[in-house]
Amino acid sequence: MLSKTLTAVALLAGNAAAKIFYAGVAESGGEFGVYSPTAEVGFGLPGTFGVDYKFIDEAGIDVYVDQNKVNLFRVAFLLERLCPVETGLGATFSETHFSEIEDAVNYITLTKGAYCILDPHNYMRYNDPSQQPMTGSIIGDTSDPTAATTEQFGAFWGELARRFVDNEKVIFGLMNEPHDMDTNLVLANDQAAVDAIRATGALQLIIAPGNGWTGGHAWTEDYPGNSPASSEVMHQLSDPASNLAFDIHEYLDTDFSGTHSSCENLASTALAPLTAWLKEHNFKAMITEFGASNGTQCASYVSDILNYMADNEEYIGWTAWAAGPFWGPNSPCCTDSKQFGSLEPGSKAADGGEGLYDTVWLEEMQPLVPTADLVWSGISSHTPAQNAVYDAFRLTPDFNFSPRGPDSPIGEGSPPTLYGTTAESQANAVGDCERSLLPQSQKALYFQDTQIIYVTMPGDPHEIAATRFCVYLDQKLGGAAAVPPTTVPPTTVSSTCWHAEDGSRCRRRVAV
């Protein structure tokens, strides 16, 4: 009934060419300080911040953002520090440790304006990191009475997402390198985390791992201890926000481990089956770990993986392994345990010579950073060029939900309407929506069947149809929002709404 007064347009059609939207480095240091040569359980926990572990060095972040123009950092931390073993994995945090993580995240995202991946560096294990990656109970392993449950893992992610729900530059990296476990359990844990994150109203990008160290080369392989192949089950992972990508690691040495100095596996060959799988199932991926030694033999392999990602639209970003404040002359990968330094700016080799930052990052990686395509604003997304706006509107106290009311701009017999107690509040029914999306004048918010429609003056190219309501609206409208989503015409901009914990915020994702 409103179609004659509405104009629907698709915002920012997708680009035909592939683009990398996020590029940077992994910041390794928050997981330090717990290795015990005798596998002493609890060794180094909780540890002392700045002595045993540290997440970032702000000066290093400054160099990467200000000089190298990268926009992504992956920050590692340990579950056992954030969720002490004494209280267990779940929603009870060490507030001291959380504040340390939050400081690092805020510096990256709020101070420097870059994006930050939260990286629980636990290999899908919890309770004993003394000899990672092999120690600790597998999360969700029902045969192990000491193991944290899948539900606890979901509760952990729900709490962490709740705390970062309003930081649009956070990316939720569900887990570092699950391995030697049933792939169906990886899927179950990933799904529990996704569901818990979305239940908070958080709409930021989620990156989920597969099994087998989440290796890209092994994605389609079924081998003992990591069965079935990730490709056989991970396509079942679902995200109601449709803002999910897979988290892939890919090293270039002979066994893909990142422990050898020679490069022998071209990513363009090794990743081909994964790329085909991503294309088949319409998924995106980030490669959040890869690396190389400082030998000239590896230069062509580094350019190969970076160019391969840039040439294939299935890949949206990458972080090289690794920078971090505590590496000193030690090397995070790819050097046969020789001390060539790290990707941390200013890093030096043990002999005082140039470190990997100079010989690998500046010489081999920096020239291939697609600085012109990197995004610096908006909520983290697997398709930032297509998601014109991610924002939120808050429901102020003078708003009510009702099938109709005296201030309803359509009047008696109209579809359900959001209305305020005054004309002024009605005119601002969308609260603090980003003004670039909707003009301040001539707008109202209507509920029609299972759609939310912004009504504008004829010819105004701003209409949003939502195919789903948040739980809050469902409660207030007496179940009307539980109606299954309807098909939205392809010329509209679709939007989805979820419940936030306090019941007062409905967040909206706008995508073509």
Which residue from 98, 91, 216, 112 is spatially nearest to 154, judged by alpha carbons?
Answer: 91
Secondary structure of residue 116 in the 3-state scheme: strand
Other beta carbons within 10 angstroms of residue 2's beta carbon come to 13
| C-alpha–C-alpha distance, residues 486 and 492, integer Å | 13
3-state secondary structure labels for all residues of 479-496: CHHHCCCCCCCCCCEEEE
At residue 315's C-alpha, the angle toward residues 185 and 287, to 5°, is 60
Q: What is the CA radius of gyration of the chain?
A: 24
Asked if 463 is an active-site residue, the reply is no
Other beta carbons within 10 angstroms of residue 249's beta carbon come to 23
Catalytic residue among 31, 159, 289, 364: 289
Q: Which two tokens stand for residue 279?
A: 């294309």
Which residue from 191, 179, 175, 181 is spatially nearest to 234, judged by alpha carbons?
Answer: 191
| C-alpha–C-alpha distance, residues 357 and 345, integer Å | 6
Q: Which two tokens stand for residue 125?
A: 């294990």
Asked if 289 is an active-site residue, the reply is yes
Q: Which two tokens stand for residue 16?
A: 């035909």
What phi and psi, each to the nearest 5 degrees, are found at residue 111? -75, -45
| C-alpha–C-alpha distance, residues 163 and 366, integer Å | 33
Catalytic residue among 27, 31, 177, 364: 177
Residues designated catalytic: 177, 289
